[in-house]
Structure 1
Amino acid sequence: MAALTNNTSIANPKLARTSKPSRSASSPDRAQQGLRVDQLASISGDVKRRPRFSRNLPVRASFSGSRSSQRWQRSGAQSDNEHSKHFLRQCAPNPRDVPPRRAAPPAGGWREDTGIASEKDWGIDLKSQPVNECGINEDGSTWYRESGEDMGDNGYRCRWTIMGGRHPNGASEWKETWWEKSDWTGYKELGAEKSGRNDQGDSWWETWQEVYVVDNWSGIPRIERSAHKQAKSRQENVWNEKWWEKYNGKGWTEKGSHKYGRSNDQSWWEKWGEQYDGQGMVLKWTDKWAEKDDGTKWGDKWEERFTSGVGHRQGETWHVENSGSRWSRTWGEEHFGDGMVHKYGRSTSGEQWDVVVAEPTYYEGKPHYGWDEAVANSSQLLSIEIRDRTEPSAFGDYGRSQGINPAAQDDYPKNGRPPMYDSSP
């Protein structure tokens, strides 16, 4: 991925029929060593408590210092057409010179564990008629907005809007793209992408997408969502996250995330996933680790898999001193479905246990946010209109009906920086 620069660009949806595909980095805590992530200067965030972790995670980094509440208005040379001037002032887009961040959790807590914003949060509003306009604000900053519609084979249609703005001194600028796509296979896609930088020295990029598709072979409908966002501060502190969710009409569900961050001399990574087959099987896993520039490393991981009350849990916690000495503890549980549980484990410091105890088995066999909730929260996606069929179709390319798979992208390297921020040769 290309590095963010002062000329951050947005992919134009007109150039491709499909666009590849908001929360920040957190790291494993090492309480016994007194290590933590130092809070970034002028950075605010929130800690999301997730039941899957027994350890505390540091505050999510987000960059401040933007003018999110300011309304940009157009002004220029005096004109006799005051009505036209007033109209253009009302048309000027709001500034998007705000790095991605998460809102504070609602009073009732998070309903779902996701960093993927909703349709309502993005507020995508595509114009029914082509637009090509620009203007100058009262502070001298400029803005522009374009919108249009592209047509292609097999009923392909893409409606899009591109907008942006720039401060007169060039220290702050933003760009944002919205789109919706469809074709005669029933494929529907809603997406957005934004990037920018501000006068604080922060830069960012974020993309969001949701897709509705009917499987070519089984006829089962699917809804898939993904988000990828990253930000970098003037002090070279960074975070990068990928999120995805997949649902189908038979109850199958998959969710996951890959996250990376760096603050001062510490870097951290986190991956997690969960999968439900709709028939009672559930698989959940987490792997998180961190390291400091002096060579100290630590982390933990665990996995659980259950079907009809029978299954297992297992995990490992470890750390490595900068001297090279290593400590680890592994553990496991076997649940037989009859009220008996086999627990076992050992550590490099001499701990060891292997017992069978009477204990109830508890696990979440169904996702708390599944197909029904995905449909209820995808009204804008599902309302995308399909072009009327005016010619015979030739569906030779099934690629668009396969949905999105951000999980297939390369993992973050373990050298302390993802590709976009890696300045090494």
Structure 2
Amino acid sequence: MAACSRGLAWPPFDLTTARGAAPPWPRRPAPRRRAAIRCCCAGSDAEPRRRLSRAAAVAPERAEEWRVDGNKPSAAAPGRRRASLTAMPPLPFPAPRPRRQFKQQDFYPRCTQRGPAPQSRDTPPKRDTGIASEKEWGINLLDEAVKESGTNEDGSTWYRESGEDLGENGFRCRWARMGGQSHDGSTEWKETWWEKSDWTGYKELGAEKSGKNAEGDSWWEKWKEVLYQDEWSNLARIERSAEKQAKSGAENAGWYEKWWEKYDAKGWTEKGAHKYGRLNEQSWWERWGEHYDGRGFVLKWTDKWAETDLGTKWGDKWEEKFFAGIGSRQGETWHVSPGGDRWSRTWGEEHFGNGKVHKYGKSTTGESWDLVVDEETYYEAEPHYGWADVVGDSTQLLSIQPLERPPGVFPNIDFSSAPPPKDDPPGMSPSSPLE
């Protein structure tokens, strides 16, 4: 959408719903590069079977979509760990953000004092795109205060303002706000940029935007990255996060996601996401996480489930833990019918680090297995995207200049408090942020 001298031009917002479609399984985006770490004997790279079977892409978004088989799953061969799911069209209304790498000068006219009306690139966020980069947001703050507004030829209005806030301990926040709406208020967009710093070395770069159109569709997105020195380990840390939400104005449909990544200078890494979506009578959830301690230990897990208003429920979850080639994997696939009948299959693997793997499992239909096989052990001992990568991609964050500290004045740091709680996203229950 764009606000220019001739008014607001809004992009198409496709909300065509495939009637009778079942909820999608959101997926994690493919990593920038993936290196399977071999921890035992020589062999070719391989990925552990940790996910549901993939369906062919059936929409421009190429999102993986799933539907539960209405019949009770039949017994499968021992060791099989795939849900009885079929492909379906995706939730159609999110429009993708352009994939090109934006340049800051592309958006400089939006914040040029006494320039033309600001233009918005605020389109509905796309599902399962993770955390955007600094370049994609194109944040460009002015050094002087600006406060402007105006009316376009078609009656739509716009505003633009920027400034700076100061506080204790050398706190400084530079910010810019802009937005606009149609003459009748049926369409609207807002966007805010900011950068923060203080004398402790804390730096923050962020952006937030929202919008709505004449059909009642609305969306919201927030992005942030932070640099600080951990008070307990004395190590530098960088944290990145993104929240996204979109709602349909025509039907009971929408989705919400929160993504986060945390890194420190010794290789400690934590990543995860919580997701929720609804399409009329169907709802689905997904949570996943990864933890690397920087010394070889790795924990990964995924839990995703879905349900309908008629009472059908199904899901799949797994977890793996490894250190020095020794570890375990376990998981469960399950289904509950509207009448309350439950089917499940559980499985597990124990990797001993010597080329031997103990595999076991059972299901409610009577199948079971328990055997030891010769098998190489593969897992990712290090994150595919780590400290060196995030530092290289955070040049704008690192270049934030704090206020000059007067001689003899030192930052006030409180070491008496307990370690800060984990910044976990809110739990995604049926009472989601969309309702």
TM > 0.5: yes
Which amino acid is 2:187 matched to? S
* Residue 100, structure 1, aligned to residue 116, structure 2: no
Higher alpha-carbon deviation: 382-391 or 152-161:
382-391
Match of 2:208 among 193, 208, 212: 193
In 2, are the aligned partners of 1:133 and 1:145 still within 8 Å (CA)?
A: yes
Pairing partner for 1:300 from 316, 327, 333: 316
Secondary structure in 1 matching 2:397: helix
Letter in 2 for 1:421: L
Q: CA deviation at 1:398?
A: 6.6
Shift in Å, 1:93: 1.5
Residue 154 of structure 2: which of 131, 139, 143 is its match?
A: 139
Aligned residues of 1:204 and 1:231 also touching (Cα < 8 A): yes
Q: 1:253 aligns with which of 260, 266, 269?
A: 269
Cα offset, 1:118, TM superposition: 0.7
1:66-124 per-position Cα deviation (integer Å, ceiling 9, x unaligned): 999xxxxxxxxxxxxxxxxxx8884322124521126xxxxxxxxxx961111111111
SS at match of 1:46: coil
Q: How does 1:303-314 map to 2 (within 5 A)?
A: 303-314=319-330
The answer to whether structure 1 residue 421 and structure 2 residue 431 are counterparts is: no
2:246 is aligned to: 231
Does 53-62 or 224-233 show the bigger shift?
53-62
Partner of 1:267: 283
Question: Normalization by structure 1: what TM-score?
Answer: 0.76
C-alpha distance 228-405 of structure 1, shift in aligned 2 (>3 A): farther
Extract unaligned runs of 5+ from structure 2.
1-22, 28-54, 66-80, 99-111
Question: Following superposition of structure 1 onto structure 2, how do residues 18-417 of structure 1 map, counting pairs within 5 Å?
Answer: 26-27=24-25, 45-47=61-63, 61=91, 63=93, 90-101=115-126, 115-234=130-249, 235-390=251-406, 392-397=409-414, 405-407=422-424, 409-413=425-429, 415=430, 417=431
**Structure 1 312/130 Cα, relative in aligned 2: closer, same or farther at 3 Å?**
same
Relative to structure 1, is the Cα distance of residues 211 and 291 closer, same or farther in structure 2, using a 3 angstrom cutoff? same
Report the identity percentage: 60
1:200 is displaced (CA, Å) by 2.2
Q: Is the 8 A contact 1:44 1:62 kept in 2?
A: no
Where 1:91 maps in the other structure, the secondary structure is coil
Q: What one-letter code is carried by the residue in structure 2 that aligns with 1:173?
A: E
Deviation at 1:229, TM superposition (A): 1.1
User: CA 1:28/1:196 → structure 2, altered by over 3 Å: closer, same or farther?
Assistant: closer
Superimposed CA distance per residue, residues 105-148 of structure 1 (whole angstroms, 9 cap, x where no aligned partner)? xxxxxxxx961111111111111111101122233211101100
TM-score (norm 2): 0.75
The 8 Å contact of residues 276 and 286 in structure 2, kept in 1 or not, is answered as yes
How far apart are residue 275 of structure 1 and its match? Answer: 0.7
Q: Distance in 1 between matches of 2:161 and 2:383?
A: 40
Partner-residue secondary structure (3-state), 2:379: coil
Structure with greater proportional helix content: 1
**Alpha-carbon RMSD:** 3.0
CA distance in 1 between partners of 2:392 and 2:261 (Å): 15
User: 2:360 touches 2:371 (CA, 8 Å); kept in 1?
Assistant: yes
- Identify if the C-alpha distance between structure 1 residues 341 and 290 changes in structure 2 by more than 3 Å, giving closer, same or farther: same
| 1:157 aligned partner, one-letter code | R
Task: Give the whole-Å Cα distance in 2 for the aligned partners of 1:67 and 1:136.
Answer: 27
8 Å contact 1:28–1:300 — kept in the other structure?
no
Secondary structure, aligned partner of 1:332: strand
CA distance, structure 1, for counterparts of residue 327 and residue 351 of structure 2: 5
Provide Cα deviations, 1:12-62, integer angstroms capped at 9, x if missing partner. Answer: xxxxxxxxxxxxx94279xxxxxx9xx9xxx9633269xxx9678866646
Question: Matched residue of 1:421: which SS?
Answer: coil
- How many Å apart are 1:397 and its aligned residue? 4.6
The more displaced of 389-398 and 267-276 is: 389-398
Summarize the Cα distance change of 1:175–1:282 in structure 2 as closer, same or farther, 3 Å threshold: same
- Structure 2 residue matching 1:271: 3-state secondary structure: strand
Counterpart residue number, 2:41: none
Separation in structure 2 between the aligned mates of residue 285 and residue 66 of structure 1, nearest angstrom: 28
Change (3 A) 1:380 1:66: closer
Q: Deviations over 1:224-269 (max 9, x none)?
A: 0011111110112010001000011001111000000001211000
Structure 1 pair 308–94 and aligned structure 2 pair: CA distance change class (3 A): same
CA distance in 2 between partners of 1:387 and 1:115 (Å): 33
CA–CA distance in structure 2, aligned partners of residues 402 and 379 of structure 1: 28
Q: Secondary structure at the match of 2:391?
A: helix
SS at match of 1:375: helix
* 2:239 counterpart letter in structure 1: E
Q: Alpha-carbon deviation of 1:63? A: 3.0
CA contact (8 A) 2:94 2:246 kept: no
Take 1:127 and 1:229, find their aligned partners in 2: how far apart are those partners? 26
User: Which residue identity does 1:343 align to in structure 2?
Assistant: K
Determine if contact 1:26/1:269 at 8 Å carries over to the other structure. no
SS at match of 2:123: coil
Aligned residue pairs, count:
352
